[in-house]
Structure 1
Amino acid sequence: MTAKEHAHGADEAQLMALGYAKSFERKMSLWENFALGFTYLSPVVGVYTLFGYALATGGAPMFWSYLLVGIGQFLVCLVFAEIVSQYPIAGGVYPWARRLIGDRWGWMTGWIYLWALATTVAAVAMGAGPYVAVFFGFDPSPQVNTVTAMLIIAASTLLNLAGTRVLAKVAMIGFLCELGGALVVGAWLLTVGREQSLSVLFDTAAVVGEGSYLPAFLAAGLAGIFQYYGFEACGDVAEEVPNPSRAIPRAMRLTIYIGGAAAMFVCLALILAVKDIGAVISGEDTDPVWTILTTNFGETGARVVLLVVLISFMSCVLSLQAAASRLMFSFARDNMLPASKALTRLSATHVPSVALILCGIVPAVIALGGYFLSNAVAVVVSFAAVGIYLAFQMVVFAAISARLRGWKPTGPFNLGGWGVPVTVLAFVYGVSAIVNLAWPRMPDANWYENYAVMLTSAVVVMFGLIVLPFMRQGSRHTAVAGE
C-alpha cells in the first residue's frame, strides 16, 4: 500500500468512526480548499460592492472596520478550525452544532445557514448586474440584474455538476484572477493614482464635524461585517479533502489571512485614490469606484478591471452554491429533510446533483422575484448576512456549551489553554456584530424596511421551529460531543 492509499484509508476510517461511509472523492488539495474559501469571502466582490456606501456613511476612517471585524472573525475562525479538526464532516455548521449539542440545535443551525446561503447566492448574482451593465454599455436596470443573476446561477450550477475536480480548478482560477487583479489595481492606484494622504484615514470631522463618530463608524462597519465570512466553506467540503483534520483548519486560517489582507489593501487603495471624498459623502459622486477606475485606467482599462470583478462574482456564486449543496446533502444523509434519498444521490461526477440543482432553483426564484417584487425581495435578501452570523454564533455557543459539559477538542488542531477565552471572545464579538447588523438606522423608511433584518430572522427561525419536529422524526441516530 502506498503512502497516499494509506492516508486515504485513514481518512475513511476516521469518517467511519464518525458514523458515515465514504460518499465523495477526496480530490481537493489544501490550496484548492483555501481557494474555495477565498472566492466565497471574495475581497473584490465585498469591497467593490459596498465601498461607495461605506465611504459615504463613515468617510475614510471606515477602513479600520475591516481590521476590527477581521480580528473578531479570526476568533470565530479559530473556534471553527478546532471543531472541524475533530469533526471533518461534509456540511460544516450543521454537523458541528449537532455533534456539540444535539439534533435540534444542529438542525436549526443548518436551517438558518441554508436559507442565508440561498439568499446570499441570489444577492451576489443580482449584485453583478450593475457591473455587467457598465461593462457592456447598458443602462443599469432590474431587468439586467435579473437576467444576469439567472445566467450566473445557471452557469454555476453546470460547473458544480461537473464535479469536485472542476469546482476546485475553477475556484483556483477565480482566486488567482481576483488576487492578481486586486494586487495590480491596488498597486497602480497607490503609486500612480493616489490623491489622498494617510491622514485621511483618521479624519472623522469630514463626516460628523464635532459630534460623535461612533454611530457613523458602526453603520459604515457593515461593509467589514459583510466581508469576513467564507472560511467556513472550507469545512463544508470536508469529505472531499485529503487529511481534512489538518488541511481544513489551515485553509480556514489562510482564508482570513490572505482574504482579509487583500480586502484591506483594495479598500486602502480605493480610499486614497478618491479625488473628492466630500463629494462622495454629500452624494454628488454616487459611484466612486467607477469614477476611480475610469479616471486612472480610462474606459477600456476600467472595463478590463470590471472583467476581473465579474469573474470574482462568478467564482463567489460557485463557492456559495457548492457550500449550500453539501449542507443540504449532510441534512439529507441524516434523514432530516423530505426526499432525503434523492438529495443524497450522487451523480457520475460524485456530487449531490439533486441538491445542487435545488440550490440553484431556490436562489433563482428569489432573484426572479427581485424583478416583480423588488421591495419584498430586498427585505428577504437583508437576512443573508445576519443569517450567516446567527448560524456562526450558534456553533460558537454550542462549543461553549459542550466545554461546560466536559468536551475537550481532540483534533490535530487544538487551541489548548486558549480554547475557552478565544471561544468566549468569539461569541461576544459575534453577538455584537449581529446587534450592529440588526440595528434600525432608517427612521424615514417604512417600518418593515427599517426592521427587515429582525423580521426576516424571526420568520426563518419561527418557520424552522414549526417544521423541526417533522424533520427530526426520520433521524437515524443521535450525535453528541465526545461521541
Structure 2
Amino acid sequence: MTQTSTPGSPADDFYSFHDHDDAAHLHALGYKSEFKRDMSPWANFSLGFTYLSPVVGVYTLFAYALATGGPPMIWSFLLVGLGQLLVALTFSEIVAQFPVAGGVYPWARRLWGRRYAWMTGWVYMVALLVTIASVVYGAGPYIAATLGIDATVNSTISFALALLALATAINFMGTKVLAKAAIIGFTAEIIGALVVGIWLLVGHRHHNLGVLFDSFGAGGDGNYLWAFAAAALIGIYQYYGFEACGDVAEEVPDPGRLIPKAMRRTIYVGGAAATFVCLALVLAVTDIPGVISGENPDPVSSVLNEAFGPVGAKAVLAIVLISFLSCAMSLQAAASRLAYSYGRDGMIMGSSLLKKFSTTRHVPPYALLLAAAVPAVIVVGSKFSTDAITKIISFAAFGIYLGFQMVVLAALRARLKGWVPSGKYSLGKWGLTVNVAALIYGVTAMINMAWPRTPDAAWYDNWIVALSAAVVVGIGLIYMVVHPLHDRSTGPYADAIPDPARTAGL
C-alpha cells in the first residue's frame, strides 16, 4: 500500500525528510537511484511474504514430506525457521548499512570484493530464474484443476507461460502497482490459509495433536533421523522470502530501519502461516499410512475435495493460484533488481541493456524481460524433456541457500577483518555469534539438500543437486575467465572492511 498524504501533513513531512536522507545515504555509497520510493513498509513485508508464499511451499511439498517422514516432519518448520531467522538477522545488519538495490550481489560486493560478488550474484540469479520457472510450472496443474480439464504437458506449459506473462505485466506497471499487487497477494493468501486451516481443524480433523509425534512407520526400520532430515525439505523450502525485502531497498523509504523489520516479520508471519496450513492438512488426512505407502499420492487434493466438495475445492484452488501468481511476481521483482544492479556496475555482458531504466514506470525493462525470458525457455523445454526440467529445477532451493551463505560467509570474514556494522540496525555484541550460527545452520541445510537419497537411481541422478550446483558454479568461473568485465567495474567495492588492502578487489 503506497503512503498517501496531503502537503504539509506529518506523513508528507516524514517521507520528504527520509527521501532526502535516503538519497544522501545512497550518494555516500556511490549511487544515485532512479527508482521511486513508493513501497510502504507494509508493501515491503508483503513482497517478502508472497516470495516466501507458505501456501505454494506447503502445497508443493506436503505429499512428499508426509510420505517420507510422517507427521513429525512438521517440526522442521520450527527448526528451519530458527535457522533462517539467524540469516535474516545477519542480512538485516548488512542492508541497514548498504541499502542498495539487488540484495546479495551488492552486499557481497561491499563485504568482500568484485569477483566474489560476481559469483554470489551469478549463483543467486540462476537460482531465482529457475525458481520462477518452477513456480509457474507448478501452478499449471492447479490451473487445469480449477478449469476442470486434464493437466497434460501442453496445457501445463501454456498455463505456466500465461501466469508468467501476467506476473511480468504487473511488474512492468511500476513500484506502486507491484506494491499493491503484493498486498493483495498477501491478503488473499493469509485469509485463504486461515479460512482453509480453521475449516479443516474445526470440521474435518481426523487426528489429535499426538499424531505429530507418530511417524507411522515412515523411514522403515532404519534410523528415523534420516527420514526426518529428508522430509525436512518442506521446511527448508519455506524460509527464503525475506531477502526480497532488501532487493528493493531503493524503493522503500528509510530502508535501514524498515527493511530489517520487514525481514523479521516475513520469518515470523510466513513461518507461522506455513506451519498452520501444514498442521491443518496433517490432522485432516484420513489415511496417513496410505500416503506413506504411496496409495494416496495426492493427499492435498483428497483433503480439499473431502472438506469443501468440488465447488468449494475450486474456490480454494483459486486462492492457491493467487498465491502462485504473487510468488512468481515477487521472485521476478527480486531477479530484475539483481540483474539491474549487475548492469549498473557494468559487471556482465549486456550491462548496457540491463542498466536501462524506464523514466515513466521507474522499472528496469530489460532486466525484467530477462526475468521473464529465461524462465519461459525453461518451461518450454519441458515439452522436450520433463526429466530435464526436473533436473534444472533441482538446483532452485539449493542455489538460493548457496547465495545466502556466500553473503553470510562474506559478513563473517569482514567481521574478523574489522568490519563493525554501522547502519540503523545492529546486533551489537551478538553480531559475531549470530553470524557464526547462521553459517553453521546454512551449511548443514545445504548438506541435507544435496545428500543422495536415491541409491537405486543412476549416480548422476542420486547426486543431481550437488552436480547441478557444480555445473552452475563451473559455468560462472569459465565466464569470469573468458569475459572478465567484473575486474573493470569502477563502482565501490570491499569498503566494509577498514583496511587499505580493500582496493585489491579480491
State TM-score, norm by structure 2.
Answer: 0.94
Whether the aligned pair in 2 keeps the contact of 1:193 and 1:273 (CA below 8 Å) is yes
- Which residue of structure 2 aligns with residue 474 of structure 1? 488
Q: Which runs of 4+ in 1 moved over 3 A?
A: 208-211
1:147 aligns with 2:158: yes
State the Cα deviation string for residues 316-365 of structure 1 (Å, max 9, x = none).
00000000000000011110012212211111200000110111000000
- Which residue of structure 2 aligns with residue 284 of structure 1? 295
- Which residue of structure 2 aligns with residue 31 of structure 1? 42
1:188 aligns with 2:203: no
AA aligned to 2:486 is R
State the alpha-carbon separation in 1 of the partners of residues 326 and 102 from structure 2. Answer: 19
- Which residue of structure 1 aligns with residue 147 of structure 2? 136
1:30-429 map, 5 Å: 30-208=41-219, 211-347=222-358, 348-429=360-441
Whether the aligned pair in 1 keeps the contact of 2:115 and 2:487 (CA below 8 Å) is no
Task: Note the C-alpha offset of 1:477.
Answer: 3.1
Whether the aligned pair in 2 keeps the contact of 1:380 and 1:452 (CA below 8 Å) is no
State the alpha-carbon separation in 2 of the partners of residues 3 and 80 from structure 1. Answer: 25
State the alpha-carbon separation in 2 of the partners of residues 434 and 86 from structure 1. Answer: 28
State the alpha-carbon separation in 2 of the partners of residues 395 and 115 from structure 1. Answer: 16
Task: Note the C-alpha offset of 1:205.
Answer: 4.6
Q: Which moved more, 1:369-378 or 1:329-338?
A: 369-378
Aligned to 2:455, the other structure's residue is in SS state: coil
Q: Which moved more, 1:337-346 or 1:111-120?
A: 337-346
- Judged with a 3 Å threshold, the aligned counterparts in structure 2 of structure 1 residues 384 and 209 are, in CA distance, closer, same or farther, namely closer
Aligned to 2:33, the other structure's residue is in SS state: coil
* Amino-acid identity (%): 58
Whether the aligned pair in 1 keeps the contact of 2:219 and 2:226 (CA below 8 Å) is no
446, 449, 454: which one aligns with 2:466: 454
Whether the aligned pair in 1 keeps the contact of 2:411 and 2:435 (CA below 8 Å) is yes
Aligned to 2:30, the other structure's residue is in SS state: coil
Whether the aligned pair in 1 keeps the contact of 2:114 and 2:487 (CA below 8 Å) is no
Task: Note the C-alpha offset of 1:6.
Answer: 2.1
Whether the aligned pair in 1 keeps the contact of 2:29 and 2:492 (CA below 8 Å) is no
State the alpha-carbon separation in 2 of the partners of residues 193 and 56 from structure 1. Answer: 20
Aligned to 2:392, the other structure's residue is in SS state: helix
State the alpha-carbon separation in 2 of the partners of residues 4 and 444 from structure 1. Answer: 60
1:19 aligns with 2:19: no
State the alpha-carbon separation in 1 of the partners of residues 425 and 28 from structure 2. Answer: 18
The CA RMSD measured in Å over matched residues stands at 1.2
Whether the aligned pair in 2 keeps the contact of 1:33 and 1:234 (CA below 8 Å) is yes
State TM-score, norm by structure 1.
Answer: 0.98
Q: Which moved more, 1:209-218 or 1:414-423?
A: 209-218
State the Cα deviation string for residues 259-318 of structure 1 (Å, max 9, x = none).
000000000000000111011011111110111011111000000000000000001000
State the Cα deviation string for residues 365-419 of structure 1 (Å, max 9, x = none).
0111011121122111100110000000000000100001000001111101111
Task: Note the C-alpha offset of 1:210.
Answer: 5.5
State the alpha-carbon separation in 1 of the partners of residues 15 and 279 from structure 2. Answer: 44
Task: Note the C-alpha offset of 1:130.
Answer: 1.3
AA aligned to 1:276 is D
Structure 1 unaligned residues grouped into runs of 5+: none
State the Cα deviation string for residues 187-239 of structure 1 (Å, max 9, x = none).
11111110011111001253246642111101100111111111000000000
State the alpha-carbon separation in 2 of the partners of residues 197 and 326 from structure 1. Answer: 46
- What is the total number of aligned residue pairs between the two structures? 483
